[in-house]
Amino acid sequence: MDFTVKQIAEYINGEVVGDENEVVNQFYKIEEGKPKGISFLANPKYENYLYKTESTAVVINKSFEPKSTPRTTLIKVEDAYSAFSTLLKLYESVSNQKVMGIAPSAVVSSKAKIGQNTSIGANSVIGDNVEIADGVTIAANVIIENSVKIGANTQIHANTVIYANTEIGANCVIKSGAIVGSSGFGFAPNAEGVYDSIPQIGNVVIKDNVSIGSNTCIDRGTMGATYIGEGAKIDNLVQIAHNVTIGDHTVIAAQTGVAGSTKIGKHCVVGGQVGFVGHIEVADYTKIAAKTGVNATIVEKNTSVGGNPAFHIKDYLRSSVFFRQLPVFEKRISALEKDKNKIK
Residues 191/197/201/206 CA torsion (nearest 10 deg): 110
**Is position 95 an interface residue for its own copies (rule: CB under 8 A)?**
yes
* 320 is a contact residue toward its own copies (CB under 8 A): yes
State how far the Cα of 165 lies from the Cα of 207, in Å rounded to an integer: 14
Shortest gap between Cβ of 67 and its own copies (angstroms)? 25
SS3 78: coil
Is residue 187 close enough to count as binding its own copies by CB under 8 A? yes
Q: How far is the CB of 65 from its own copies (least distance, A)?
A: 26
Binding to its own copies by CB under 8 A, coded x per residue (else -) over 24-63, reads: ---xxx--x-------------------------------
Does 193 interact with its own copies (rule: CB under 8 A)? yes
CB 288 within 8 A of CB 310: yes
98 part of the interface to its own copies, by CB under 8 A: no
Interface residue with its own copies among 255, 263, 298, 305 (CB under 8 A) is 255
User: Does the active-site annotation cover 242?
Assistant: yes
Query: In angstroms, rounded to a whole number, what is the distance separating the alpha carbons of residues 54 and 210?
Result: 38
Nearer to its own copies, 65 or 104 (CB): 104
Asked if 242 is part of the footprint of its own copies (rule: CB under 8 A), the reply reads no
Provide the 8-state DSSP code for 30: G
Taking the least distance from each CB to its own copies, the nearer of 47 and 284 is 284
Which residues are bridge partners to 150 per DSSP? 132, 168
Considering only 23, 42, 102, 140, the residue that binds its own copies (CB under 8 A) is 140
Q: In whole angstroms, what is the distance from residue 295 CA to residue 114 CA?
A: 44
Return the H-helix or E-strand segment holding 7.
helix 5-11
Phi, psi of 12 (to 5 degrees): -110, 15
Task: Supply the minimum distance, in Å, between the C-beta of residue 104 and its own copies.
Answer: 8
Check if the beta carbon of residue 74 is closer than 8 Å to that of residue 18: yes
Residues marked active site are found at 242
